Amino acid sequence: MALAILLAIPLALVGKWIDIELRKLNSRFLKTAKEGARDGDTKKVGRQIVKSVSAIFFAFTIFTVVGTYLLTIMIFLIYPQIGASILTALKLVYFAIPFFGVVGILDNLRDKKIFKFVVAFGATYLILVLIGGVI
């Protein structure tokens, strides 16, 4: 699982690049929408939304299918070659991923008093771990 996540992250960057390119493409649709607006043609404006949504749908469907296919092949090729020590390291990485996720969540909290949230989180974690350890 950790191997899959580590290999998939660069694909997410490709997805971001596709997203930016699609938004640039939308500027063309905006020009056509403005032409439609000048003629008072509401249907022409609506068609630009349909075109844009269709472009997004097809681009990401193709990207998801191709990306999943490539990633699956890579994992099937790489996984049998991995040694025992790297497998153990990958298990550790898999275990650490939720920690990175929690950092992401705490980092996203838009509050000036972030410190009190961090303290509350740390206290909850430590209390539960200590109680759990005693039990």
C-alpha–C-alpha distance, residues 124 and 134, integer Å? 16
Structure-block tokens of residue 134: 């005693």
Instruction: Tell me: does residue 36 bind other proteins (CB under 8 A).
Output: yes
Contacts with other proteins, 92-131, as mask; x by CB under 8 A: xxxxxxxxx-xxxxxxxxxx-----xx-xxxxxxx-xxx-
| Burial class, 33, CB count within 10 angstroms (exposed 0-12 / middle 13-18 / buried 19+) | buried
- Which residues of this protein are in contact with other proteins, per CB under 8 A? 2, 6, 9, 23-24, 26-27, 29-30, 33-34, 36-40, 42, 45-46, 48-49, 52-53, 83, 85-86, 88-100, 102-111, 117-118, 120-126, 128-130, 132-133
